[in-house]
Amino acid sequence: SQEKSVVNKMQQKYWKTKQTLIKVTGKKEDEHVVASDADLDAKLELFHSIQRTCMELLKAIELYQKRICFLSQEENELGKFLRSQGSQDKTRAGKMMQATGKALCFSSQQRLALRAPLSRLYQEVETFRYRAISDTWLTVNRMEQYRTEYRGALLWMKDVSQELDPDLYKQMEKFRKVQAQVRHAKLNFDKLKTDVCQKVDLLGASRCNLLSHVLTTYQATLLHFWEKTSHTMAAIHESFKGYQPYEFTMLK
């Protein structure tokens, strides 16, 4: 009995390893078995898309933060330069440079307010990736192990059935054991298959909820920034209305 148990386990491992090799090498599998997992594979594609786009979003936020700082710094430098040059020019052009310089310095300070909601967005997405995506990924890995085991058992049963002689008791007994192994493997696989589909659906809904909630704050901050800066720029434009610019004539 013990010898039969050991042999049975070795055969299970053999067919599981064979199925793993088929998957790794990309060999064609039974089209009906593959088609039966079409809904699961669609969910896995969605999961990998969520996983990939979250990483891309984190990288984009990092780059955006750096560029906001750089733009704010350059804008402030330009503002300071215009103010210093405007203070030396006693004409109306000097007043324009000073007013524009102040507006640019103000805009550079206000622009930095965008960093707070972006930092919050980064933290929320990072937490989502470490917790929700990682948890789903563990379930996906367990499911893939059971799927390999189940498909390996199917290969084993196919191999046994090809040599099956219903008149021989030992062969029928062996076939029934393999059949029981297939049923057991399918039961485990189906349970994890359902878990994965439910978790991926929940993951997608959670991400939509997270982004809509956090991006609302960013959008409100961005609109507030544009309202304040546009109001300042409009005031400068209004104050210098009717100003005639210099006209140059080129002598040939």
Residue 2 lies in a domain: no
Residue 246 lies in a domain: no
Under the banding of pLDDT at 50, 70 and 90, the label for residue 167 is low
Question: What phi and psi, each to the nearest 5 degrees, are found at residue 30?
Answer: -60, 120
Least confident among 7-11, 185-189, 205-209: 7-11
Under the banding of pLDDT at 50, 70 and 90, the label for residue 183 is confident
User: In the chain, what is the straight-line distance between the N-terminal and C-terminal CA atoms, in Å?
Assistant: 111
pLDDT digits 0-9 by tens, 100-140:
999 999 999 999 999 999 999 999 999 999 999 999 999 99
| Mean pLDDT to the nearest integer, 80-92 | 88
Residue 129 lies in a domain: yes
Summary mean pLDDT of the chain: 82
| Mean pLDDT to the nearest integer, 139-160 | 77
Residue 141: give the domain boundaries.
12-65+114-222
Q: How many residues does the chain have?
A: 252
pTM of the model: 0.74
The total of structural domains in the chain comes to 1
In whole angstroms, give the CA distance from residue 213 to residue 207: 10
Q: Which residue in 239, 243, 242 sits closest to 99, CA to CA? A: 239
pLDDT of residue 76: 95
CB 183 within 8 A of CB 157: no
Residue 243 lies in a domain: no
What CATH number has the domain bearing residue 215? 1.20.1270
| Torsion angle in degrees (nearest 10) through CA of 22, 24, 25, 31 | 50
Residue 98 lies in a domain: no
Q: Which helix (H) or strand (E) holds 178?
A: helix 169-239
pLDDT digits 0-9 by tens, 2-13:
445 655 566 566
Residue 159 lies in a domain: yes
- Count of alpha carbons within 13 Å of 240, Cβ hemisphere only? 18
Radius of gyration of the chain (CA): 34
